[in-house]
Structures are given as C-alpha cells and as structure tokens.
Structure 1
Amino acid sequence: MDKVFARFLEKFGSPVDREEVPASSLERYRGKLPNQLLEYWAEHGWCGYGNGIFWLVNPQEYEGVVASWIEGTKLEERDTYHLIARGAFGDLYLWGEKTGFSLKITSVFSRCVIHDFEITSEEMDRELQGFIVSRNVDSNDVEDLFNPTRRKLGTLRHDEMYGFVPALMLGGEPTLDQVEKVKAVEHLILLSQLSELEPYNF
C-alpha cells in the first residue's frame, strides 16, 4: 500500500461494505481516470470509509446522476466527468478527464465548487493522490448529524445515503428527525431536479 492511501486510512479507519472491482471496470476507465485510482480500486475495492461517511464508488453506477446534474449546463461543454467519490449526505466528487478533480457538488443545496484548470496526463496521478490525502471526515458531515444518524438508522450500504425528507431545498430542516436512509442514485437524481445547480459565492 502506498503512503498516501495509508495516511488516508489513518484518518478514516477501515473500510465498510467493500465491493471487489471487476477487471472490466478497470479496463473501462483506463485512460479516462488516473492509473493511480485504478490501482487503488484493484487493491482496496469500492467501499465506504469513516464508518460510511465517505465512499469511493463505481462511476458507472452514477452515470445517470452525473448526467442529471450537469446536462444542459456549461459544465457539460467543459469536460467529461465521472463520479469517483461521494459523501454520506450526498457530497459528489467529480473527476474530469481533462481537468482532474475540478468539480464538487453539494447536492443537498444544489451548489458546486469549480476549479478552473487543465492538467496533463502526467500530473493526473499526483492530482489524484492530492485529492485522496486532502479528504477530511468532517467535511462530509452536515450539522454534525452523521454519528447520531448512524446510531439511529444504522451504517450505510454502498448504494445508500442519508437524505433529508423533505429535502432542504423544499424547506426541510437539517435535524435528526428529518433524516432517512435512502437509495443514493434515486435520491441524488431527485435532488438534481429541485433547483438549478449554482456555484458557491465565497
């Protein structure tokens, strides 16, 4: 195991709900995603970390989610994006084939952060390691609800997330009473339809 992933595991702890990555998926994304990421997949699989607060995922399962968020936006012209990771409450980490980790969508608020640069194929692996090592457990939480929610509803499976019902964009409150365990893909597509995706104004 390389030093970067070892440091990531020190922060997040051992994996949950691990799925083996088939050779066909490694081939499907060769040349589209960094070789370093494919090596991590081969060694560690797709799984959750930090008791399920952060997930490295199969991008193929989320193609519909990516399309529903960025179709018809300027982002669509900018790059071809693949969802490589997500948070328990629906933070989405998208990797651009030309721009690397250049887009993060906070689905509960329909907000995004766009990094505007292109990187060379030689820089992709280093960029990917930078992405992995800079993840924080807390940044995937909402209002410190993760631990109480996990105690109440149980640990997530790979196809689940914690969703607010009603959604925050529809006036829901970020409280423990309003969190439910939901199917990730369906819920993320639903959230994409509630409001136009806007950049954060820092």
Structure 2
Amino acid sequence: MNDNGEELSAGLWDFTPVPEPTDPVEQDALTDEVIDRDLIDPDTGTGLAPMDVATPVPEEYFTHFEDILPRSVLHIWRRFGFEGFGDGLFWITDPIAWAPVVREWLDPVRERLPFTDTFHCLARSAMGNLFLWGENSGHSVEIDPTYGEVIIDQLAIQSVQNPEVHQRQGRTAFSGAADRSVEGPEDNAERALPPQALERLGPINSHQVYGFVLPPALGGPISVDNLRITDAHTYLTLQAQQNDITVSDPVGANWGQVAPIIGTDPGTSPLGQASES
C-alpha cells in the first residue's frame, strides 16, 4: 500500500468475482466456510455465535423463493432457520413476517428511489436496521431507523447481474450485515451502541429491539442511556411514521470519485450500467 492508500482502496472496491463452484454441494460448502469465518468465528469475523432459538424456515418458503433468492441464502436458511446471533445483536429474519414493516418504510419514498423493485427483509440488527434483498437488485437497500434513512447500495446493483456475484451477495447479505449490526450506530464518543446496550440491558429476543426512549428524530440523544428494550414491529412502524424518511445514495452521489477507483466509466451511473448488462 502506498502513502495515499491506493491499494487499500482498490481492494475495498474490487468487484472481480471469486470463482464460484458450479457443483451445488461445493457451493453450499463455500457458503458454510464464509459464514463460519466472517460471522461466527471470533478470530476472523464478528464472533456472533448462534443462540439456538431458531424457528425453522417453512418448507413452502424454499419453493416460493427458489427463483428469487440465490442458493447461498436458501442454504443458510436450511442450516440455521430464522436464528439469532450474539445474544440478539443480529437476526436472520422471516421476510414474510417483516414485509409490513418494510412497506411502512419504503412506501413513502418509492417515488424517490432511483429504481423499482420488490424487496424482502433477510436480516436485521438489534437496533432495528433492516437489510433488504431486491428481486432484481440484490443486496441493495438498508433501512436505518436511527437516522431515518433508506440507504441504497448502487455498487451492489451494478454487480448483481453477474451470477457468481449473485451467490456471493447472498452470503455477504448476512456476514456484512452482521458486521454492521455490531459496529453501529455510534454514540457521540464514537463507541458502538449495540455492545453497550447488550451489556446494560441484556439480550433481546426475535420480537424485540433496543429502541430509543426519545427518538433522535425528536431530539433524543444517540446514547445507551436513551435506550430500552421494546417490541420490534411496533417501534419500527412508529419510527417510520414519525420520521421524515430520507433516501441516502452515498455511491451515486460520489460516482465521479468512486468510478476511477473501481476502473469504470465516470460518465455512466451504476444504475445505467446494470440496466445495460
């Protein structure tokens, strides 16, 4: 890495897919390897152990989502079910059960989204961040209730058309989301709130979140002192109704700077490239 960090930047934005096995058994083995390494292992990943409180995924889900979700996601469902990790810091979610909450957040901003898609909630954090999978855009949208944001990942949209990357996104939909679930949001001292909330308030179950007593949108501090355990669906629905929801597009807003790093045309947006592929 040089003094400007150029090699590091190139690595972070490297979208050259790792060769994906063609054999389904090998694909599942790779999925297990990635999840064990990046999600569960405390030395190489986030260190979030399964809680053994899972609800098995109904068999009809595998039929319904067979052509919607990549094999990697379906394999994780079969292995874990709808499970919690790290004493509730991260959850694999039932997309049907969470669909009403997703609608509460997305319906008010659909006309402001730069693309149209149908979204399913695959995972969530203890703070209520929802990690969504778009049927055409992959692991492309996150809902952040702390800041009242719908966050778009245009680079995910750009790359999802590649079948190999499609499978890889199915894995990072969980491993990457777990990492985000541990690290944010941060308080004013730049300390991650979720571990503080776990230590102060204890674990949560599949129906609960750490919610703000006075939401930040109404002036409440982003502090562990302002958190309590509350019903997840009720809290997130109220947050969607109280917030002036914003649409955040970090990559799209800075495409002129991002494009040269990943070796693509600054004059063509990620959404335009995805539609042409």
When normalised by structure 2's length, the TM-score is 0.66
Write the distance in 2 (CA, Å) between the matches of 1:140 and 1:41: 25
Aligned counterpart for 2:145 among listed residues 85, 90, 107: 107
The 5 A counterparts of 1:26-65 are 26-65=62-101
The percentage of counterpart residues that share the same residue type is: 26
Give CA-to-partner distance per residue, 1:117-153, whole Å, 9 cap, x none: 2533724212212333434153344433323322332
Greater share of residues in strand: 1
Distance, in Å, in 2 between the alignment partners of 1:188 and 1:83 is 13
**Could you tell me which amino acid in structure 2 is paired with residue 174 of structure 1?**
I
Q: Distance in 2 between matches of 1:127 and 1:146?
A: 24
1:14-163 matches, cutoff 5 A: 14-16=49-51, 17-72=53-108, 73-74=110-111, 75=113, 78-116=116-154, 117=157, 119-120=160-161, 122=163, 123-135=165-177, 136=179, 138-143=182-187, 144-163=192-211
Tell me, yes or no, if the aligned pair for 1:92 and 1:106 is still in contact at 8 Å. yes
Alpha-carbon distance between aligned partners in 2 of 1:175 and 1:165, rounded to the nearest angstrom = 10
Matched, 1:185 2:223: no
- Are the aligned partners of 1:34 and 1:124 in contact in 2 as well (CA < 8 Å)? yes
Q: What TM-score results when the alignment is normalised by the length of structure 1?
A: 0.89
- 1:165 to 1:85, Cα distance in 2 relative to 1, 3 A: same
* Structure 1 residue 158: Cα displacement: 0.7
Structure 1 stretch displaced more, 163-172 or 9-18: 9-18
Q: How many aligned residue pairs are there? A: 202
Root mean square deviation, CA, Å: 2.2
Equivalents in 2 of 1:88, 1:97: separation in Å? 25
Kindly provide the amino acid, as one letter, of the partner of residue 134 in structure 2: G
Change (3 A) 1:54 1:42: same
Contact 2:151-2:247 within 8 A present in 1 as well:
yes
3-12 or 143-152, which deviates more: 143-152
Q: Give the Cα–Cα distance (whole angstroms) in 2 for the partners of residues 186 and 9 of structure 1.
A: 29
5+ residue gaps, structure 2: 1-28, 251-277
Query: Are the counterparts in 2 of residues 19 and 46 from structure 1 also a CA contact under 8 Å?
Result: yes
CA gap 1:164/1:58 in 2 versus in 1, 3 angstroms: same
Q: Is the 8 A contact 2:152 2:249 kept in 1?
A: no
- For 1:177 and 1:59, the matched residues in 2 are separated by 31
1:9 corresponds to 2:40:
yes
Q: Is the 8 A contact 2:182 2:194 kept in 1?
A: no
